[in-house]
């Protein structure tokens, strides 16, 4: 679970040198001193000081008129915040499975040695360096990867630790493949924030058509006709969500784009936003028109500073050219958009936990019902969709909803972005119709397997393992469901026979122990118990009875956890036990 109070930490009852916090005053004014400013205030404070001093937390508490305990509770919930001083060069090294199998542990060890640090999560005596291991940074296509002072460093190797610590390693890039190129057709072709170039390529024509020629109900009708479902993993019909939100009695409504893409092995949303931000914004604006919202938010994963900067630049250009604000495209439609930064919490991928974060609280999922379509952000009706879902909306308006039925299968309609990483020759984002087999996808668009495959994890850390004898399984919901393997976010992680899969499972279990919000017992206790058992197995002290315990605990978590994190945390273990290992050979 999230970090606790370090020994010796104190905060002042009064604040000295208040002038040092004057840089927060514009943010306080922008948010009218309301508590939903809290995450942005904390993020900005950490940007300036490198950590969160006790006086800063006290100052924020006073300015927002909320208890210091509340400020402290939020500051210690999110992984990217630190209440302890960090080094001038703060290095966060991904040690999740894809980076781990690419050598991240050795890079972490060598970097600590280079910095004169005994072990990770420490600051060097000269305060020049601090090094922290991290969960997935969304750079799996360029593993091993790290962030140094917020800048992505990729394709790392242990012999280059000095360059890494100073942020001089290779920078992130965009890698796209597949066909048809619909969602990704502009990525890499034109600069991401060049509005003139994007307009010349047809951006905002769909919004113009919706506002000039269609009623909100007709927009929803086209989305319903497409049979588009959410691409964040849950697969709820998008048009139905918009319809429910529009029908809600409240006049004040919101739209939200979920860009808190923290599923290990997933990086498509980062690529989409860094390559074509206007596409996502246009989709969000069309959804706002459809449901009757005047305000929207894009909640960006904290580990995506480059994407955040691109979004801010894009939004500024849209306001300057009156594509955002009042009377957009000379109509009665007005819409304002805010970018909010996350701070490192996987649980905030869950829609109601994301609302809590925007509102300035810990990311605890809410009990449902009520649902977001009637009681969402700030208690108002809210339509929340992820990046990939919103990105296809402009095409549905321009071409008609039934156009989307040209791809995929009867039960898995349309096109999908897959994130290929691990032991493949060409990792990256692939855009293809549903229905290709796993083997076809990897051999045609990822250059084939690197080594002999042992297991393929589909759907990320909350997904499921496929045995190599299932490589000819189509990538459709109907084909994968009997195997208890969800397509989920579209992450496909390949592990060859050099990998110890128990270590991979242990890595995922450690991830979920850290990322559980701790609110419900099945998830809080179940994740810890699973990690304990997997540690025994990895240390070769496990027994056949431990496998039965893993199955029992995992099944209980799926049935009784409050939110999707607990319900899916055991999926990789359960599917590996079912498909990869038998009772007899599990400890060989």
- Write down the pLDDT at residue 311: 98
Q: Is the whole model's pTM more than 0.85, yes or no?
A: yes
- Write down the pLDDT at residue 176: 93
The owner of tokens 């936003």 is 273
Query: Which residues 6+ apart lie within 8 Å of 579 measured at CB?
Result: 455, 465, 466, 467, 470, 483
Architecture of domain 89-165: 3-Layer(aba) Sandwich (3.40)
- Write down the pLDDT at residue 564: 82
Report how far residue 566's alpha carbon sits from residue 573's, in angstroms, rounded to the nearest whole number: 13
- Write down the pLDDT at residue 17: 75
Report how far residue 264's alpha carbon sits from residue 297's, in angstroms, rounded to the nearest whole number: 24
Helix or strand run (H / E) with residue 395: helix 387-399
Q: pLDDT tens across 43-59, in order?
A: 999 999 999 999 999 99
- Write down the pLDDT at residue 439: 97
Name the β-bridge partners of 338: 297
> For the domain 176-406, what is the CATH code?
3.40.50.11540
Residue extent(s) of CATH 3.40.50.11540 domains in the chain: 176-406
Residue extent(s) of CATH 1.20.1440.230 domains in the chain: 501-579
Q: pLDDT tens across 349-364, in order?
A: 999 999 999 999 999 9
Whether the link from the prior residue into 530 is cis, omega within 30° of 0, is no
Residue extent(s) of CATH 3.10.20.600 domains in the chain: 415-496
Report how far residue 195's alpha carbon sits from residue 455's, in angstroms, rounded to the nearest whole number: 43
Report how far residue 266's alpha carbon sits from residue 303's, in angstroms, rounded to the nearest whole number: 13
Residue extent(s) of CATH 3.40.30.10 domains in the chain: 89-165
Architecture of domain 501-579: Up-down Bundle (1.20)
Q: pLDDT tens across 286-311, in order?
A: 999 999 999 999 999 999 999 999 99
**Cβ of 378: how many Cβ atoms within 10 Å?**
14
**Full strand arrangement of the beta sheet holding 176-178:** 176-178, 428-433, 415-422, 491-496, 453-458, 464-466
Its CATH class, for the domain covering 415-496, is alpha beta
Q: Write the DSSP symbol of residue 28.
A: H
CA terminus-to-terminus distance, the chain: 32
Name the β-bridge partners of 433: 415
Residue 262 near residue 134, CB atoms below 8 Å: no
Tens digit of pLDDT at every position of the chain (588 positions): 554 444 333 444 456 678 899 999 999 999 999 999 999 999 999 999 999 999 999 999 999 999 999 999 999 999 999 999 999 999 999 999 999 999 999 999 999 999 999 999 999 999 999 999 999 999 999 999 999 999 999 999 988 899 999 999 888 889 899 999 999 999 999 999 999 999 999 999 999 999 999 999 999 999 999 999 998 777 899 999 999 999 999 999 999 999 998 899 999 999 999 999 999 999 999 999 999 999 999 999 999 999 999 999 999 999 999 999 999 999 999 999 999 999 999 999 999 999 999 999 999 999 999 999 999 999 999 999 999 999 999 999 999 999 999 999 999 999 999 999 999 999 999 999 999 999 999 999 999 999 999 999 999 888 999 999 999 999 999 999 999 899 988 999 999 999 999 999 999 888 888 888 888 898 999 999 999 999 888 887 767 788 889 999 989 998 998 888 889 888 988 998 887 665 344 433
């Amino acid at each position: 679970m999230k970090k606790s109070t370090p020994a010796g930490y104190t905060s002042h009852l009064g604040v000295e040198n208040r002038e040092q916090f004057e840089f927060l005053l514009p943010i306080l004014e922008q948010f009218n001193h309301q508590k939903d400013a809290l995450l942005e205030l904390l993020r900005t404070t950490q940007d300036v000081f490198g950590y969160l001093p006790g006086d800063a937390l006290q100052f924020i508490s006073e300015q927002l008129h909320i208890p210091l305990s509340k400020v402290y509770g939020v500051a210690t919930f999110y992984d990217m915040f630190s209440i302890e001083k960090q080094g001038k060069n703060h290095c966060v090294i991904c040690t999740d499975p894809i980076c781990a199998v690419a050598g991240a542990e050795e890079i972490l060890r060598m970097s600590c040695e280079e910095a004169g640090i005994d072990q990770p999560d420490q600051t060097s005596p000269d305060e020049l360096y601090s090094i922290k291991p991290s969960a997935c940074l969304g750079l799996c296509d360029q593993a091993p990867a790290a962030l140094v002072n917020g800048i992505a460093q990729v394709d790392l190797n242990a012999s280059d630790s000095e360059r890494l610590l100073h942020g001089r390693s290779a920078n992130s890039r965009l890698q796209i493949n597949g066909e048809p190129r619909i969602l990704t057709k502009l990525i890499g072709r034109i600069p991401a924030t060049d509005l003139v170039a994007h307009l010349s390529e047809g951006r905002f024509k769909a919004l113009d058509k919706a506002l000039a020629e269609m009623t909100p109900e007709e927009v929803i009708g086209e989305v319903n006709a497409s049979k588009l479902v959410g691409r964040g993993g849950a697969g709820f019909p998008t048009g139905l969500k918009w319809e429910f939100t529009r029908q809600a009695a409240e006049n004040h409504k919101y739209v939200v784009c979920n860009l808190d893409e923290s599923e290990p092995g997933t990086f498509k949303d980062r690529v989409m936003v860094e390559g074509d931000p206007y596409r996502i914004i246009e989709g969000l604006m069309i959804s706002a028109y459809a449901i009757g919202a005047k305000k929207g938010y894009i909640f960006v994963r904290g580990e995506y500073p480059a994407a955040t900067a691109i979004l801010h630049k894009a939004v500024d250009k849209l306001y300057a050219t009156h594509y955002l604000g009042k009377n957009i495209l000379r109509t009665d439609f007005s819409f304002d958009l805010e970018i909010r930064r996350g701070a490192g919490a996987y649980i905030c991928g869950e829609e109601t936990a994301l609302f809590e974060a925007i509102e300035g609280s810990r990311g605890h999922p809410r009990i449902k019902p009520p649902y977001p379509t009637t009681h969402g952000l700030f208690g108002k009706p809210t339509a929340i969709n992820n990046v990939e879902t919103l990105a296809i909306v402009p095409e549905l308006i321009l071409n008609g909803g039934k156009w989307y039925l040209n791809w995929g299968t009867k039960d898995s309609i349309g096109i999908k972005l897959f994130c290929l990483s691990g032991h493949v020759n060409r990792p990256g984002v692939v855009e293809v119709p549903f229905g290709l087999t796993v083997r076809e996808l990897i051999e045609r668009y990822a250059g084939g397997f690197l080594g002999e495959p042992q297991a393929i994890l589909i759907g990320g850390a909350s997904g499921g393992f496929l045995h190599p004898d299932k490589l000819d399984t189509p990538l459709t919901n109907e084909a994968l469901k009997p195997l208890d393997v969800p397509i989920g976010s579209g992450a496909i992680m390949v592990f060859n026979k050099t990998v110890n899969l128990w270590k991979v499972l242990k890595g995922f279990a450690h991830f979920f122990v850290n990322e559980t919000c701790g609110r419900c017992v099945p998830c809080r206790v179940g994740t810890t118990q699973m990690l304990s058992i997997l540690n025994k197995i990895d240390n070769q002290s496990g027994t056949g009875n431990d496998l039965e315990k893993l199955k029992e605990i995992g099944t209980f978590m799926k049935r009784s956890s409050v939110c999707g994190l607990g319900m899916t945390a055991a999926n990789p273990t359960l599917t590996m036990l079912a498909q990869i290992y038998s009772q007899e050979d599990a400890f060989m």
